[in-house]
Structure 1
Amino acid sequence: MPAPPVGVVGLGQLGGSLAAALVAAGREVRGWDVDPAARDAAADRGVRVTRELAGVVVLAVPLPVTAGALDGLDVDPAATVTDLGSVKGPVLASLGPRLGGRFVGGHPMCGTERSGHEATDPGLFRGAPWALCLEPGTELSRWLRAAEVALDAGAEVVPVTAAEHDDAVAAVSHVPHLLAAALAAAAGEAGPLALSLAAGSFRDGTRVIASDPAFVTAMVEGNAGPTAAALARVRAQLDRPWPDLVTAGHAVRAASAGRRPVRVPVDRPALLALGRAGGAVTRRLAAFVEGWVPEGA
């Protein structure tokens, strides 16, 4: 049975990269963007530019406009709808009542500080974790269709709930954006000499705050509760004796857990258990998925 077509709404860095990756994987890809230049760039990469979307429809638009992203488009009422937004609770709250079990929240962990269709990279998703939300009302068959899109793009699928996702990314994505902003602002206050001496550690520590400020603000404010809690944990760490802090941080960063291959049935508890153990899905079989979990999990 052929894979259903994929429709991508928003053809900037993430959407354009996804569309290009799926074309390379042999999927039929349709797409739309309000920007004519983004549409032209996608068409040059083999995307059929149209407002008529079906199969699996992916919303690759900024968080503030996600709720209205399908307005004005001709979307098959049987289509599965997923998204690429960096916060899942608010998106689920806005789209869930409208789409029901055919909405599957998603978030690939692979963006960069660049944006726009000029930043398209078909290899962007290769090996990246892609969180895919499995809520009590999510139709499992539609979750699998969304998972196949992620796998075809080269990503590894991490089954989660929206709440689990938002708690986790607050710690590893949203707080780092705030810390990068604080580090850059503090260095600016230190004066031009400090900035002229800034090298690798400063560049790496501040890279993500080169992102569009509106994007970062929407992300952290959209996940305000978990981000505040995660930031409080960072503040508590900074209050520790510095040698203890350095040692503890180094131990976490230097740890290299091996991977153990697993095969789990396609059912909600087994998939969520895989994600909660820190594992991911790498391949879809008939009644099973293959993937991995960390050694010892």
Structure 2
Amino acid sequence: MASELRTVLVVGTGLIGTSAALALRKRGVRVLLADREAAAVRLARELGAGEEWQPELLPAGDVDLAVIAVPPAHVAEELLELQKRGVARFYTDVASVKAEPIRQAERLGCDLTTYVASHPLAGREKSGPGAARADLFLGRPWALCPTGEALSEARAAVLELIELCGANPVEVGAEEHDRAVAVVSHAPHVAASAVAARLADATDVALGLAGQGVRDVTRIAGGDPGLWLGILEGNADPVAEVLEAVSRDLAEAATALRSLAGGDGTASGDLTQLLKRGVAGHGRIPGKHGGPAPAYVVVQVVIGDRPGQLARLFQVCDEVGVNVEDVRLEHAPGLPLGIAELWVQPDAASPLADALLERGWQVP
């Protein structure tokens, strides 16, 4: 079926906006770029994300869909301005908070018949157009939150945007969306930041002992504080509820540990229950194709810090017909080598390990 989206305007050329633009360009859609920062538009354009929007050269309504990729607090104002100018047939936004921008749009008198709020559940710890990728949304959930006033044509336009970007649409109410992302995105970011903050005053000895575990837990804490402050302010109550629950668990764990340190062995039961609940919760995270996460086996390989080593490693995987589901690298501080962890199906682990050993690789 031919695309109904021939021309799309992306307002806001940060990570998400530019990634959407790159994905659309790969599908042959004409993309117009706008941002209050001229340098951001220039970089996005140089990356091949589209052309700079020149409204005076484009008839009103010639844009099929306007994608508003600005912080949550500015979505409604941007929507109102674009609608007043009759820029596009339909509108969406990609902010990570939905309920408050919709309420603001109602208060400002925006036309909600042509607007469907949405949110791609994809991102990186890096920000800006330079971090954008055309494949950022592939296979990822993309929420859409139409109000009761939204036209079916507006919803169809946003669904087509999601399809062109390679994501999976999930229709959900705005309030439910915000409660959900508080659990799976916003509160985890604050928790990761709290753990990472402990490292600011850590000794050199402690940092020298840092392994992959602390890197995994704190990876997302590297996000832009200004950007995240806007997200958290827009979803403050749901995030606070999750953090209060996490705080209770942590306080109970600390109390149990103090008791254990004092010789009360019975306190280990409370700590064990928290650890078991953590395992159960982790087990509910869907796999990369949705549904329950499959059980993979990790094959560890010592790899030198030299050009071409990963390519050689993957060549072995290709030769023995093993699909690598995930790969993680852990560097050895002070040494020109590290450990590559290859996540594979259980029945592929032994053949892969044997093949690597035969070819001279060190498999711990």
TM-score range normalised by the length of the shorter chain: 0.7 to 0.9
Partner SS for 2:113: helix
8 A contact 1:42–1:49 mirrored in 2: no
| Pairwise CA distance, 1:192 | 3.2
8 A contact 1:130–1:155 mirrored in 2: yes
Count residues with an aligned counterpart: 260
Q: Scaled by the length of structure 2, what TM-score is found?
A: 0.66
Choose from 124, 137, 140 the match for 2:152. 140
Unaligned ranges ≥5, structure 1: 261-297
Partner SS for 2:144: strand
CA distance in 2, matches of 1:46, 1:218: 25
> CA deviation digits over 1:197-228, x for unaligned, max 9?
22211111111121111111111121111111
Q: Which residue of 2 aligns with 1:14?
A: 16
Q: Which residue of 2 aligns with 1:98?
A: 110
> CA deviation digits over 1:59-107, x for unaligned, max 9?
1112333233357768535521111111111211122331222111111
Partner SS for 2:92: strand
Matched, 1:50 2:60: no
Q: Which residue of 2 aligns with 1:61?
A: 70
CA distance in 1, matches of 2:196, 2:140: 27
Q: 1:70 to 1:243 in 2, by over 3 A?
A: same
Q: Which residue of 1 aligns with 2:277?
A: 248
Choose from 175, 188, 212 the match for 2:224. 212
| Pairwise CA distance, 1:147 | 1.3
Q: Which residue of 2 aligns with 1:37?
A: 39
Bigger mean CA offset, 210-219 vs 41-50: 41-50
| Pairwise CA distance, 1:143 | 1.3
Counterpart mapping for 1:1-297 below 5 A: 2-4=3-5, 5-44=7-46, 45=48, 47-52=50-55, 54-69=63-78, 75-76=85-86, 79-96=89-106, 97-238=109-250, 239=252, 241-255=270-284
Letter aligned with residue 65 of structure 1: H
* Identity among equivalent pairs (%): 34
Letter aligned with residue 50 of structure 1: W
Q: Scaled by the length of structure 1, what TM-score is found?
A: 0.80
Bigger mean CA offset, 131-140 vs 146-155: 131-140
> CA deviation digits over 1:91-144, x for unaligned, max 9?
111223312221111111111111111111111111111111022222232112
CA distance in 2, matches of 1:59, 1:137: 19
Letter aligned with residue 19 of structure 1: A
Q: 1:158 to 1:117 in 2, by over 3 A?
A: same
Structure having greater relative contact order (Cα 8 Å, sep ≥ 6): 1
Q: 1:17 to 1:46 in 2, by over 3 A?
A: closer
Root-mean-square deviation over aligned CA pairs? 2.3
Q: 1:204 to 1:221 in 2, by over 3 A?
A: same
CA distance in 2, matches of 1:17, 1:78: 20
Unaligned ranges ≥5, structure 2: 56-61, 254-269, 292-364
Partner SS for 1:69: helix
| Pairwise CA distance, 1:37 | 2.8
Partner SS for 1:184: helix
CA distance in 2, matches of 1:251, 1:47: 45
CA distance in 2, matches of 1:114, 1:189: 24
Letter aligned with residue 234 of structure 2: G
CA distance in 2, matches of 1:107, 1:33: 19
CA distance in 2, matches of 1:259, 1:186: 34
Q: 1:192 to 1:244 in 2, by over 3 A?
A: same
Q: Which residue of 2 aligns with 1:266?
A: none
